[in-house]
Amino acid sequence: MSSGSVLLTEERNPRDTDRPISPYQADVEQYLGGPEGEVEIPLRNFQDAIAKYRYMENNLAQRRRGLEDEIPDIRKTLNMVEC
């Protein structure tokens, strides 16, 4: 695999410091090694990355649901403290 067209960076996403910015492939054909290049390894890497991001998405969605479930209790506690 050629990395000449890959923009590699250690920058972080400004909205989420735990998630790096994804590399951009300017020329996919060159990245794969031309018309006869091997596709299986980059495809497997891509599928692994997708699986990782889906896991992160599901984890965050579950965490959000848990926090949203706590909102009524927090409001009730706040009302008790304010009175």
Q: What is the pLDDT of residues 51-64, one digit of tens each?
A: 999 999 999 999 99
User: Could you tell me the pTM of the whole model?
Assistant: 0.55
Q: Residue 17: its pLDDT value, please?
A: 62
**With left for phi above 0 and alpha for psi between -120 and 50, is residue 27 left, alpha or beta?**
beta
Distance CA 49, CA 57 (A): 12
Q: Is the pLDDT of residue 71 over 90?
A: yes
Q: Residue 3: its pLDDT value, please?
A: 46
**pLDDT tens digits for range 10-65:** 555 666 666 666 677 788 888 888 888 888 988 898 899 899 999 999 999 999 99
Domain boundaries of the chain, sorted by first residue: 1-35, 39-83
